[in-house]
Amino acid sequence: MQISVAWHLIARVFLPFAAGYYLSYLFRTINALISGRLISDTGIDTADLGLLTSVYFLAFAAAQIPIGILLDRFGPRRVQSALLLVAAAGAGLFAMSAELVSLLISRAMIGLGVAAAFTAGLKSIVLWFPRERVALMNGYMIMLGSLGAVTATAPAEHLLAWMGWRLLFEILAAATAATAVLICVAVPERAIIPSTASIPATLGSVFGDRRFWRIAPLSATCVGSAWSLQGLWASPWLTDVEGLDRASLVGQLFIMSIALCGGAWLFGTTVHCIRRRGVGAEAILAVVAVLFIAAELALTLRVPLPSIVPWSVVAIVGAATVVSFAAIADYFPPELAGRANGALNVLHFGWAFLAQYGTGLILEQCFTEDGHRAILAYQVAFGLNVAVQIAALVWFALPWLRYFTRWISSSTLFTPVNLSDVVEPVSLYEQMIVLMPADGDAEW
């Protein structure tokens, strides 16, 4: 792309959608900071807090499939600007709510209103930017959007001390409405030219693709758990288990949000670079999953490390959607981008809801000691997450195991093997999928 054209696209396409995603991340993580005030001001308990915060993910997940279809049909500009108005109304209602039911409705409206924030941004990148730069631009999108998580720490703490959480949400409502207008006015329309691929542009093409079902469970359980932890449960863990005071807590949440931003940039740059060397994004996702599981085990087993180390890994994994969506972009043509991204996001946010709400239920069953939850409650809740992630990792690795088993059995100890003859530099993962038997094969 020419430099002038690139900056024109960044100003009129990329930045407006990044602003919407920034607000989405801010709404997603703000409850970790205001949880104490919500409990004291509204009288809700820990389980109610988990439900209240996680209903955002439930509404978000429920909307992904319809939103994916709408994005493919009407384009990201109209869908995103309309939904952000719903989020603005939800934020305004949240600021006025005084009981759990009203808080739940308004929080669900916020989740629904920002449900297209990321997928609309991804769709606009697919439509307007060259294919080889999609992963890099996705990384920048998440990096800028995750500044919302940064804002929801130390900056928001200063604002809360000055104005309270209700006035803060009124300001967020106005900012969200302004962003909706900006996207509607500034972003141009782009006609979608159907590809020559033989894949029909239907949702069934996404859910019927075996590659999708190999990557989706691992991505969902890792990314969704990371969102659940950073968006709510990191704060009580650091208070109850690590014994941090308010200032130290806000400082550590701030560092975690910075790590999230850095992780988005790192993932986008890494995927962009390794693709030039013929390595697929799936390999990065496997490494990320292993590191994430190790970080969670370090927390639950109380490994003698500074708590910021495993918690920073948790935060970074929240940006691993860059990797997942880069892989998805290779599987499907542009006219299916909205449906494919929406289908994957259903699992991301669906698991985030289950993990966040389920953790609240487990913690509520345990008695407090001097106002703090017992570490055993956190270990049980976090341990269940880890068990599911390990199962998803094993499922994801099955094609690798089958591939290398066949490769070893077809080679001999005395015959040198030229790996370039075995693996083409396009995508190792795609070749392993080819070796998988057809659906319903009893041998598999």
101-136 pLDDT, tens digit each: 999 999 999 999 999 998 898 888 888 888 777 778
pLDDT at 243: 87
Q: What is the pLDDT of residue 370?
A: 66
Specify whether the CB–CB gap between 324 and 344 falls below 8 A.
yes
Is the pLDDT score of 326 beyond 90? Answer: no
**CA-closest candidate to residue 403, choices 427, 368, 380, 378:** 427
The rounded distance, in Å, linking the Cα atoms of 404 and 396 is 14
Q: 66-113, pLDDT tens digit by residue?
A: 998 898 888 899 999 999 999 999 999 999 998 899 999 999 999 999
pTM over 0.85: no
Pairing of strands 372-373, 368-369: antiparallel
Q: Are 220 and 46 in contact (CB under 8 A)?
A: no
Using CA atoms, how far apart are residues 114 and 372, in angstroms rounded to an integer? 33
DSSP letter, residue 189: P
Average pLDDT, integer, range 239-247: 88
Closest listed residue to residue 257, CA positions, set 305, 296, 314: 314
pLDDT at position 432: 47
pLDDT of res. 292: 97
Phi, psi (degrees; rounded to nearest 5) at 200 = -70, 145
When pLDDT is cut at 50, 70 and 90, the band that residue 429 belongs to is very low
Q: What are the contacts of 199-202 at 24+ separation with CB within 8 A?
A: 199/332, 199/333, 199/336, 201/72, 201/333, 201/335, 201/336, 201/339, 202/339
At 206 the pLDDT is 84
Query: CA angle, corner 303, sides to 299 and 305, nearest 5?
Result: 90
**How many CB atoms are located within 10 Å of the residue 194 CB?**
9
CATH H-level superfamily of 11-186+203-435:
MFS general substrate transporter like domains (1.20.1250.20)
Going by pLDDT thresholds of 50, 70 and 90, the confidence category of residue 191 is: low
Q: What is the pLDDT of residues 388-397, one digit of tens each?
A: 999 999 999 9
CB atoms within 10 A of CB 368: 12
Q: What is the mean pLDDT of residues 286-309?
A: 94
- Cα 84 to the center of its chain, rounded Å: 19
Per-residue pLDDT at 82: 96
Segment 134-169, tens digit of pLDDT = 778 888 888 898 898 889 888 988 888 889 899 999
Q: Give exposure, 418-437, as e/b (b: 16+ Cβ within 10 Å).
A: eeeeeeeeebbbeebbeebe
The pLDDT assigned to 411 comes to 59
98 CB-contact burial (10 Å; exposed 0-12 / middle 13-18 / buried 19+): exposed
- At residue 437 the predicted structure's pLDDT band, cuts being 50, 70 and 90, is very low
Grade residue 419 by pLDDT with cuts at 50, 70 and 90: very low
